[in-house]
Structure 1
Amino acid sequence: MSDSPLTAESEPKSESEPASPHPPPPPRWASQSLTPMREALLVFTTCMAQFCTQSAFFAALVLLQPIGDSLGIQSRPRLAWLVAGYSLAAGTLIIFCGRLGDVYGHGRMLVAGYAWFALWSCLSGLSVYSGFDLAVVTRVMQGIGPAVCLPNALAVLGTAYPPGHRKAMVFALFGAVAPIGAIVGGVFASLLALVWWPWAMWALALWLLVLACLAAVVVPRDDHHHHHHQFDDDDDGNNSNNNSDDEQKSVQPSSSSSPLRRLKTVSDALDLPGAVIGISALVLFNFAWTQAPIDGWAKVSVLVPLVLGIVLFALFLLFEMKLSPAPLLPLDSITADVGFVLAAVVCGWASFGVWTLYLTQTLHDARGLSPLLLTAYFSPVAVAGAAAAVVTGLMLGPLRFGPPTVMTIALSAFTVGSLLTALAPVHQTYWGQIFVAFLVMPLGMDCSFPAATLIVSNAVARRHQGMGASLVSTVVNYGIAIGVGIAGTVEMHVQGDPDTVD
C-alpha cells in the first residue's frame, strides 16, 4: 500500500486520465454532504412550497362568501374564478417555471418564487379596495408563485437525494403537508377573517417572505446546474468535459454578442415559442370550461377559446417534436407508463377540486356553517393526511408495494371519497358519510402525489428533474382547475340555475 503512490508517479499518465490539480468533486447528491440540521431545514423549506400552495388555495375557498360579500358578488360560478384562476395559473406555468430552474438554478428560482408569491398575496388582500375583477387578477398572479415554487422545490429534493427509501420518505412528506397546509391555512384565514379577511392574505405574505430568506440560506448552491445540457442529447454526459466551455458560452453569450443573438440564445434555452404556444393552449382550454357555466356553451366567448386551445395544443406537440432545439416537454421522456400515471393523477385531482369546492359550498349554504366551523369540519383531513403520508412512505419504501399499486390505492380513495360525499343527505350527522370522506380523501392525495413524483423522477434524466417535477405539479393543479370548470357545466345542465342552493 505504501509504494502505490510511487508506482503511480513512475507510470506515465494516459491521455484519458490526466492529472488534475483540483480537489475531488463533491458528492453527487447534496444530501450526502449536509449536516442533520441543514438537511432538516432544507426539507422544511422545500415542503413549505406545497404547504403554502394548499394553504392559499383553501384559505380562499373557505372565504369565498366573505370575499363575495365585501365585493358585492353572489354568483357562485363567478366566485369559482377565485379558486379556478389560482389553480389555472399554477397548473399552466409550472412546466415553464421548471425549465427556468433547469436553466438558472432550482434554488434561485425557489427564492424568487417565494418572493413573487408574497408580493401577490399582499396585493390580493389590497384588492378589497378595488373590485372583483382585480381580485381575480391578483389570484391568478398569486398562482404564479406556486408555479415557480413547486417544481423547483421538488427538483431540489430530486437532485439532493439518490433513489431509495430516504427519497421515498421525503417525497411522501412533501405530499403529506398538502392537507396539513390546507387546514392550517383555513384556520388562520377564518380567525383573521373575524377581524377582516384581507389580513389572511397579508399574514400569508409575511410568512412567504420569511421562507424566501430561509431558502436563500439553506438550499445548497446550484452553481453546478446543467443548463448547458439543454442542448445535449447524451444523458451520460460523455461529451460534457470536452465541450462544456463552448456550451456555457452558447447559453450565456459574452457581452460582445449582439442583442438579437442573446435573445435567440435565451429563447432556445427556455423554449420560449413552445412555452407561449403551450401555455396559451392550456389557458384557453381551461378558460372555456370555467366560463361556460356563466355564459353558456352557445356563446362565441366560450367556443372560440375552446377550439383555439385544442388547435394550439396540437401545434405545441408538433413544435416540440419537430422544431424546438430544446423542447420544453421532451417527449422521449414521456413513456407510456409515465403518460398513464399523469392521466390518472389529473383525473384524481380533478375529482378532488370538485369535492372541495362543492362540499364547502354545500356546508356553508345548506348547513349555514361559518368559515371557522367549516374549517373545523375539514380538520380530520390534516390528521388523516399525516397518517396517509407515513403509510405511503412505508408502501413505497420498506413494504415495496411499487408506485403502480400505490396509484391504484390513490384513485380508489378519490372515487370512494367523492361517492360518499355525493350520496350523503344534506342534513345527515357530521359523523356519517362526510366524516368518513374526510378520512378517505387524504389517502388519495398523499398516495398519488409522491407515487407519481417518484415514477417521473426516476424515469427522466437528472438534467430533466425540473421538467419531471413540473409535470406532476402541472397535472395536479391543472386537474383542480379543469375539474371545477367541468363540474360547473354539469351543474348548469342538470340544475339549470347554478346560483340556487338546491
Structure 2
Amino acid sequence: MDSPVSEVNSFKASGKPPVSNPPMSIIREILFIFITSSAQLMTQAGLGQTIAPSHIIGKAFGTTNSGQLSWFPASYSLTVGTFILVAGKLGDMYGHKNMFIFGYAWYSLWSLISGFSVYAKSAIMYDVCRALTGIAPAFLLPNALAILGRVYPPGRRKQWAFCMFGATAPNGFLLGAVFSGIFSQLAWWPWSYWSTCIICFAFCIASYLIIPDIQEETDEEKTSEKRHFDYLGTFFGITGLVLINFAWNQGPVVGWHVPYVYILLIIGVLSMVVFIYVEHKTLEPLLPPDAFTGEIGFILMCIAAGWACFGIWIYYLWNFFEVLRQNTPLLTVAQMAPVGISGCLAAASTGTLLSRFRPIICMIISMAAFTIGTILLATAPIDQTYWAQTFVATIVTPWGMDMSFPAATLVISDFVSRENQGIAASLVSTVVNYSISIGLGIAGTIEVHLNHKGTNILRGYRSAWYMGIGFGGLGVGVSILAAVLLFTKPSKRASDVESAEETAEKKEIGISN
C-alpha cells in the first residue's frame, strides 16, 4: 500500500529537490481524512438544511412562490460554484491549510447571521445570507481536495481517500436535512443555522490542530505568483457566472419578459467571452493549461449534465414528499435515509473499480444512475407506496453522486502538475455546484410555465424531472462517446510525465558522470 507521505512540490527544472511532508501516525491520518472530508460533508449539509424546511422558512417570510423557494438552495449553490476557482488559486498562493481554516471561520460567521435573518422578515435578506454562506464551501472544497492531492501520491491509498471524501456527500445532505427538520418541526428553524455556526467553529479549531503544515513553494516563488494573479480574469469570470446564474433563477420568479432578467443574462454571457479571451492572454490563468485535455473535458461535461440532473432530482423529490404526499420534514428525512447507506456502498465500490478500470467507466455507470433515478420519480404516482419507485430511486441515484465525484477528482488531480492541485481540484467542485444551481433555474422555468398557474402541481414537478432526464441522458451519451474516443489512445497523466522527466534527468546525470 502507498505511503501517506508524498512529495508536495513538483521536481523543478532548475534541479531543486522536491520537499516532503513528515509522516503521520495511523490515528492522525484517520483524523486528517475525517477533517478534510468534512468539507464535502458540510457543503452538502448546507444544501440539505435549506431544502428540507424550505416551505416552513417560506411561510416565515410570507412566500409560497415556487420560484422564490427554489432560490433558497440556488443562492447557496450559486456562490459555491462561482467562487471555487478563485479560492483554489488563493490556496495555491497563500497555502491550502490557511484557506481551509478561513473557509470554516466564514461558514461559522454567516451561519450565525443566516439564523438572525428571521428578524429581517425578508426572503431576499435570507437569500443574501445563504449566498454569502456559500462562499465558505467554495474555500473548503478545493483546498481540501488539494491537501489530499498533495499529501497522497497517485495510487490505491489516494483512490480510497478521494472515495471517502465523495462518500460524505449524501450523508452530509441527510445530516443537514435531519437537524433542520428537527429544529423546524420541534423547535425553531433558525437553530439549525446557529448549531451549524457552533459545529463549523469547532471544525475550524480542529483543522488548525490536525491538518499538517504542508510544505509550500518558497517565498520567492509565492511573491512571483502573486504578481501574476489574474485579477482581470477573476473579475470577468465571477461577474459572468453570477449574472448568468442569477438570470436563470430569477426568470421563474418575475418572468422572462422582465427586461433586467434578459439584460443581465446577455451581460453575463459577454463577460464569460471576455473571461475566455483574458485567460488565453494572461501569464498566470486561473485554469492551468494542463487542465485542458480531452479526457478532463469529457469528464467535466459529464459532471455538468449529471449533477444538473441531481439538483432537479433532489429538490423536486423533497417537494413531492412534502407537498403532494403531505409528509412532515422528519418523515421525509426518514424516507431519504437509504441515500446515505447506498452512497457509502457506492463509494466503497468506486474505490475498487477505479483501481481496475479507467475513470470514464465509472462515469458511464454514474450517469446511468442519475438518469434511471430521475425516470423512476418522473413516472411515480402520488398515491403509490413509498417502497415502490421512490424507494428504488433513493437507492439508485446515490451511485451517480458517489461514483462521479471521486472519479472526476482523481482524473483532475492525477492529470495536472502538483503545483496546480488547488486550481485543478476546483474544477470539479465548480462544475458540480454551479450545475446544481443552473439546473434548478432551468427546471423552475419549466415548472412555472407548465403547472397551469399552480393548478396542476404534479405536472409541473414531472416536467422538471423530464428536464432532469434530458440532462442525465446527455451525460450518458457524452460518457459513452468519451469512452469510445479515449480507449483508442493512451492516457497521459501529469504524474507520469513528471516521472518520465525525472527518469530522463537521472539518466542524463548518470551519462555525464
Count of residue pairs the alignment pairs up = 443
Q: 1:168 aligns with which of 138, 159, 168?
A: 159
Which residue does 2:358 correspond to in 1?
A: 402
Which residue does 1:207 correspond to in 2?
A: 199
In 2, the alpha carbon distance for the partners of 1:186 and 1:441 equals 17
For 1:384-423, what per-residue CA distance to the aligned partner results, in whole angstroms no more than 9, with x for missing partners?
01111111111112xx022010000000000000101111
Q: 2:189 aligns with which of 191, 197, 216?
A: 197
In 2, the alpha carbon distance for the partners of 1:17 and 1:340 equals 35
CA contact (8 A) 2:248 2:441 kept: yes
Which residue does 1:318 correspond to in 2?
A: 277
For 1:175-215, what per-residue CA distance to the aligned partner results, in whole angstroms no more than 9, with x for missing partners?
00110111122112111221100000111110100000000
Residue 197 of structure 1 aligns with an amino acid whose one-letter code is W
Which residue does 1:354 correspond to in 2?
A: 312
In 2, the alpha carbon distance for the partners of 1:334 and 1:213 equals 37
In 2, the alpha carbon distance for the partners of 1:188 and 1:485 equals 26
SS in 2 for 1:325: coil
Identity of aligned residues (%): 44
CA apart distance, 1:78: 0.4
Residue pairs, 1:47-446, within 5 angstroms: 47-130=37-120, 131-193=122-184, 194-222=186-214, 224-226=215-217, 247-250=221-224, 265=227, 268-269=228-229, 271-322=230-281, 324-397=282-355, 400-446=356-402
For 1:232-276, what per-residue CA distance to the aligned partner results, in whole angstroms no more than 9, with x for missing partners?
xxxxxxxxxxxx675455457xxxxxxxxxxxx3xx33x121111
Which residue does 1:35 correspond to in 2?
A: 25
CA apart distance, 1:479: 0.7
Which residue does 1:451 correspond to in 2?
A: 407
CA contact (8 A) 2:67 2:448 kept: no
Gaps of 5+ in 1: 1-15, 19-23, 227-243, 253-264
In 2, the alpha carbon distance for the partners of 1:360 and 1:190 equals 12
TM-score by length of 2: 0.84
In 1, the alpha carbon distance for the partners of 2:104 and 2:392 equals 35
1:475 lines up with 2:457 in the alignment: no
Which residue does 1:488 correspond to in 2?
A: 444
CA contact (8 A) 2:287 2:424 kept: no
In 2, the alpha carbon distance for the partners of 1:295 and 1:185 equals 30
Distance 1:137 1:498, change over 3 A: farther
TM-score by length of 1: 0.85
In 2, the alpha carbon distance for the partners of 1:207 and 1:499 equals 42
SS in 2 for 1:388: helix
CA apart distance, 1:302: 1.4
In 2, the alpha carbon distance for the partners of 1:91 and 1:327 equals 18
CA contact (8 A) 2:451 2:457 kept: no
SS in 1 for 2:257: coil
CA contact (8 A) 2:65 2:253 kept: no
In 1, the alpha carbon distance for the partners of 2:353 and 2:317 equals 30
In 2, the alpha carbon distance for the partners of 1:251 and 1:280 equals 23
Distance 1:469 1:426, change over 3 A: same
For 1:424-452, what per-residue CA distance to the aligned partner results, in whole angstroms no more than 9, with x for missing partners?
11111000000000000100000000000
Gaps of 5+ in 2: 1-13, 459-513
Distance 1:416 1:199, change over 3 A: same
CA contact (8 A) 1:114 1:212 kept: yes
SS in 2 for 1:80: helix
CA contact (8 A) 1:76 1:498 kept: no
In 2, the alpha carbon distance for the partners of 1:65 and 1:375 equals 15
CA contact (8 A) 1:420 1:437 kept: yes
In 2, the alpha carbon distance for the partners of 1:418 and 1:37 equals 40
SS in 1 for 2:457: coil
Which residue does 2:453 correspond to in 1?
A: 497
CA contact (8 A) 1:75 1:499 kept: no
Distance 1:249 1:145, change over 3 A: closer
Residue 300 of structure 2 aligns with an amino acid whose one-letter code is L
CA contact (8 A) 2:162 2:409 kept: yes
Residue 74 of structure 1 aligns with an amino acid whose one-letter code is T
In 1, the alpha carbon distance for the partners of 2:363 and 2:85 equals 22
Distance 1:249 1:139, change over 3 A: closer
Residue 495 of structure 1 aligns with an amino acid whose one-letter code is N
CA apart distance, 1:495: 2.4
CA contact (8 A) 1:410 1:444 kept: yes
